[in-house]
Structure 1
Amino acid sequence: MKFVHETSPQRIRFATGAAAAGVVAEIGLIGAKRVMVIAGVPEAGIAKSVTAGLPVVLHHDEVVMHVPVEVAERARAAASAAGADAIVCVGGGSTTGLAKGVALTTGLPIVAVPTTYAGSEATHVWGLTQGARKTTGTDPRVLPVSIVYDAGLMVTLPVDLSVASGLNALAHCVDSLWAPRADPINAAFATEGVRVLAAGLPKIVQDPYSIEGREQALYGAYLAAVSFASAGSGLHHKICHVLGGKYDLPHAQTHATVLPYVLAFNAPNAPAAEERLRTAFGASTAGAGLQALRQALDAPRALRDFGFKESDIPAAVEDILPVVPVTNPTLATADNLADLLRSACEGNDPE
């Protein structure tokens, strides 16, 4: 056994019903006096409640999916004009992504309060979109200094979005098993992440107000993000970043739809990952376990439902092929990537 593993420095507060107190404590620890709050319009009420005890100098609500460069630049200018010395972001992946876009150039510390299972809060990965191309990178400045997890904030997240967001988290786990920096520690986090997500998400579908289900999914999403942050982007994320940036497809739904096709593509040449996933799902195969979960969740099935067309496939393949990691267990070609996208577009049986 030989590997190098890096663990990111970050504080985690996990307590249902304690978000406001947790945020006050974290801002106090970093000594911030002029806080910028980033939250989209739908999360405005939650954000005001969570940040009521803070010295807030700015509420910024221009949150856009995939973080266009011009949106990030306006947020940076607003932070500078307000003299902000810290950011509290309350929301999902797009909100956290915007906070990262500000921190990337300003160095402002971030305290993240997630309201979805996106996991961006636990990574040092940033993403910005310009034109039709999404660029991603890593930088320690964008890693939130702390995360305040409160499952009580999740109960208003609609079931369909909870499913898509939870499967997005599960995709982090799966991709971590064959990403460029995959190692046994990442695999341990990823496997446990799959197990608790597979247990928690059906409980949310059965009862959206189930705190047990929300806590399991939130815990799983954190494990997924930590494993992904260390392992790096595998084939699944490379595909979804191209599709999201180039065709403006919804982030979580795209990940939820593409995942079973990438698993079917790679699993035959990744026996160790297949065995870990099979065990975590408690199924005969990894693919069968994922499909059974997706059926129980009534998960998104076809990219065409979100605006992706078969005529888009050649251009998408052209952008995906150069960024496929050399560590990917199955050799990617223009033909088999086109087949993968065609199946995902139509919602065919992944197997």
Structure 2
Amino acid sequence: MGFIYNGLPAHVIFGRGSIAQTAQLIGELGGKRALLVTTPNQADDARTALAGAEAIVAHFDGATMHTPTNVTEQALELVKSEAIDSLIAFGGGSTIGLAKALALRTDLPQLAIPTTYAGSEMTPVLGQTENGRKTTLRDLAVLPEKVLYDVDLTLGLPADITGTSGVNAIAHAVEGMYARDGNPVMTVLAERAIGLLAEALPPIIENPLDIPARERALEGAWLCGTVLGSVGMALHHKLCHTLGGALNLPHATTHTIVLPHALAYNLPAIPDVGARLERILRGDPAQRLFDLGRAIKAPAGLRDLGMAEADIETVTTAALENAYWNPRPLEREGIRALIARAWAGERPA
């Protein structure tokens, strides 16, 4: 067995009440004129949580799904006009993605404060959308210098976002287990992460204030993000990037629906990984992940998100263009069939 392990730099602060360290962390980044980046829905929560951070001199509340480049340009104007020297991202993948896009263009340091389980904060990966097409890049310039995890910030996360962002995180770890550049370190992290999230998500849906379950989910999300940032992804992520960029479907929910089907397609080519996942999930992994989607009350089919049946062919063609590496060869009819099942909300084959 041979492999290459390339560890990414990371400074993680994890624990209840750690939001109180924000001002200190901005100072450690050299920040004196920081921009706070959020979505419209989280703007008030961010301002309240970070009220004591005097270095914050401007706010941009327009982060949105899939990081459209025109939104990045709007935020960049604010960065220039306010002489911003550091970035604070408060929120989920949309917010953190925008801060990354700004860092790519300005080389400003970032403090990421995740409030969902997206995991983007631990990766040097940026996905951007322009003219309906989503592309991704990998560059250490977009990796946040500091990441702060405070479970208290996740207690108000709505149940639907909690569940789907958690399964989105699981998708990172699942694909990391059979990545072309995978290694034993990432496999260990992925196994722990998947187990933590699969155990934690259903109880959180029943009781959103279950703090021990929230802590397990947040740790799992951190580890899933670490896996995503360290190794490459495959068919599942290509499909979700295609669906998100072309049809503007909600990111985490799309991942939740597609994951069981993409994994079922690949399982014949990855028997060792399948056996590991079967042990962790206590059953056929594709079926158990489909059941997890039902346990968190997520939509079962892409048509529930507004995707038209006619889009199945379009997405199939796009998924085969500039395809990601995948452990099983990409066969058009097989890919089309899995997209069709995901569209209809059927169980994975």
Secondary structure in structure 2 of the residue aligned to 1:67: coil
How many angstroms does 1:50 deviate by?
2.7
How many angstroms does 1:15 deviate by?
1.0
Given the two structures, how large is their TM-score scaled by the length of structure 2? Answer: 0.97
SS at match of 1:310: coil
**Cα offset, 1:206, TM superposition:** 1.8
Q: Distance in 2 between matches of 1:164 and 1:254?
A: 8
Match in the other structure for 2:222 = 222
Number of positions where the alignment pairs a residue of Structure 1 with one of Structure 2: 348
Q: What is the match of residue 293 of structure 2?
A: 294
**Aligned equivalents of 1:298 and 1:50: distance in 2?**
29
Match of 1:330 among 328, 331, 336: 328
Q: Corresponding residue for 1:162?
A: 162
- Structure 1 residues 42-64: Cα deviation after superposition (integer angstroms, max 9, x where no partner): 11222112322221111111112
Tell me the CA shift for residue 178 of structure 1: 2.0
Q: Does 2:131 match 1:93?
A: no
Per the alignment, residue 80 of structure 1 pairs with 80
> Which is worse superposed, 286-295 or 187-196?
286-295
Contact (CA 8 Å) 1:238, 1:323: kept in 2 or not? no
How far 1:222 moved relative to its partner? 0.8
1:171 corresponds in structure 2 to: 171
| Aligned match of 1:339 | 337
1:11 partnered with 2:15: no
Q: How does 1:17-56 map to 2 (within 5 A)?
A: 17-19=17-19, 21-54=20-53, 55-56=55-56
8 Å CA contact 2:36–2:59 kept in 1: the answer is yes
- TM-score normalized with structure 1 length: 0.96
Q: How much does 1:131 deviate?
A: 0.8
Which residue does the alignment assign to 1:280? 280
2:310 match: secondary structure:
helix
Q: Distance in 2 between matches of 1:310 and 1:5?
A: 42
Which range is displaced more, 312-321 or 164-173?
A: 312-321
Please, which moves more after superposition, 317-326 or 120-129?
317-326
> Structure 1: which 5+ runs fail to align?
none
User: For residues 106 and 30 of structure 2, what CA distance do their matches in structure 1 show?
Assistant: 17
Shift of 1:148: 0.6
Q: Which amino acid aligns with 1:201?
A: L
Higher deviation after alignment, 50-59 or 263-272:
50-59
Could you tell me whether the CA contact under 8 Å between 1:180 and 1:325 is conserved in 2? no
Contact 1:43–1:91 under 8 Å retained in 2: yes
> Displacement, 1:290?
2.1
Which amino acid counterpart does residue 342 of structure 1 have in structure 2?
A: A
Shift of 1:248: 0.5
Q: CA RMSD in A?
A: 1.2
> Aligned partners of 1:62, 1:295: CA distance in 2, in Å?
32
Within a 5 Å distance, the mapping from 1:196-275 to structure 2 comes to: 196-275=196-275
Aligned to 1:179, the other structure's residue is in SS state coil
State the distance in 1 between where 2:278 and 2:188 align: 14
Q: CA–CA distance in 2 between the matches of 1:71 and 1:294?
A: 31
Identity %: 39
User: How far did 1:73 drift?
Assistant: 1.0
Q: Give unpaired runs (5+ residues) of structure 2.
A: none
Contact 1:36 1:84 in 2 (8 A): yes
Task: Find the aligned partners of 1:292 and 1:250 in 2 and give their Cα distance.
Answer: 20
Amino acid at match of 1:162: T
Q: Following the alignment from structure 1 to structure 2, what is the Cα–Cα distance between the partners of residues 288 and 139?
A: 35
Answer yes or no: is the 8 Å Cα contact 2:261–2:286 preserved in 1: no
